[in-house]
Amino acid sequence: MNVVRRLMVAFVVFAFAGGAAMAAGESGGTSLIHFRPGSERLGDVIPYFDKGVYHVFYLKGSGWGHIASEDLVHWRELPDALEAGKGPGAPDGQNCWTGSIVKEGGKYRLFYTGKNSDDPKGEQKVMRASSPDLVTWTKEPD
């Protein structure tokens, strides 16, 4: 199965994850057919394939969660990719909304919508972060 087709399968599985029953005896967010994050809601999914690993970033609370799989069946949770900014003036202080990821040279770039109704620069703006490995993300200044 080619990469595009696998990503489409992953998207469909995640899009309809809410209706699937949890597998008996399994803990946390794992079922027979999909990943489900503990008590958080799973929002927009942002799939990314790199070096034989399927990464799925998703909206989780006010930030971005992150899981990875080599086979689209067995998933492992990775550290959250993004958290809302700290402080009342943070441009993404209320929420980190959907976005996308690209690779530029040897670095990954994450673009997302930052929300803060109290920010004098505007309620919503395009924000960015970078990573050397898709796991450790650093927000970049305006």
What's the confidence (pLDDT) of residue 1?
60
What's the confidence (pLDDT) of residue 8?
55
What's the confidence (pLDDT) of residue 12?
47
Global model pTM greater than 0.85 = no
Structure tokens at 55: 């990464």
What's the confidence (pLDDT) of residue 26?
43
Residues of the chain with pLDDT under 50: 12-13, 15-27
pLDDT over 70 for what percent of the chain? 76
Q: Which of 29, 28, 64, 27 is nearest to 43 (CA)?
A: 64
Q: Which of 15, 8, 61, 53 is nearest to 35 (CA)?
A: 15
What's CA 108's distance to the chain center, in Å?
14
